[in-house]
Amino acid sequence: MQRLFPNTLNTNKIDLAAFLDYLRYERRYSPLTCENYQRDLDQFQLWLTEHKDSLDLNQVTEFVVRQWITKLHRQGLKSRSLQRKLSSLRSFYRYQIKHKRLSSNPAIDIRAPKEHKPLPQTLDIEMVSQLLDIKGDDFITARDRAILELFYSSGLRLAELAGIAVSDINADEALLRVTGKGNKTRVIPVGSKAMVAIQEYLQHRSLVNRLSLDTLFLSKQGKAISHRNIQLRISHWQMKQGIPQSVHPHKLRHSFASHLLQSSGDLRAVQEFLGHSDISSTQVYTHLDYQHLASVYDKAHPRARKKKK
């Protein structure tokens, strides 16, 4: 394993292999994480060699690290990648301090620039109604109608919907047991139209369920429908129903959350529906709500409307 800082650059002979062994065997990091850390540290070393000639390890200051991160940011590196590189540096310097080779950690207080996150894209209520107004009573149409209704009714993720079993549905109470991220289970209501669509689909499902599967949504061959197939079916109905925007499962989830928040104002309830462990993940929909209110204000308030010349 090569040395991170060759002897020609400084007097501190620090073996990168020992640091990587520490990550691998003591910290139990995955091989991929160790590779990423080594790549990040090699890149930092190369930059020091090219721009900070003969700089000793103990002379690497917070300002030097900031210069490197700033340079990478200007080159277009995303915030998440910058955060990982800083994490690599912080971990490396902590290791050297622990072994009495260095005295300070110049990356300890540096954070990557925050990345601008665009607001989630949603469909307006009229477009959702147009999308869900699907006619037909054959197996595929009934199944796809139930899929779309359930996505919008309960704000499910794609993997959550694909993993639903018939036994997860409590038809009497109109409740659904969902297994989400981290294998966490939540119970959420199902709207009346979605329940009707599911009941209609179940009549067709019994005819194709030759393998006696508990999985709710099946293909014509009686197998569990794939994530990709669900996405393709949604795209099919987006075009067939004349929806000008692209439609995907997460856009239906975003639309559900935005519309529920607009009508109820209950952020905690939306959090429970979506299965967010942290309410900060749900708060993005408040920005959509404010955006909606601002749009209404601009159109309706006499002081907001521009006078026509």
Would you name the residues annotated as active-site residues?
157, 181, 250, 253, 276, 285
Angstrom distance (rounded) from CA 270 to CA 273: 5
Q: What are phi and psi of 218, to 5 degrees?
A: -120, 160
C-alpha count within 13 angstroms, C-beta hemisphere, residue 230 = 25
Q: How far is CA 43 from CA 16, 52, 63, 227, in A?
A: 13, 13, 17, 38
Say if CB 275 and CB 179 are below 8 A apart.
no
Three-class secondary structure assignment of 208-248: HCCCCCCECCECCCCCECCHHHHHHHHHHHHHHCCCCCCCC
Cα(188)–Cα(156) distance, integer angstroms: 10
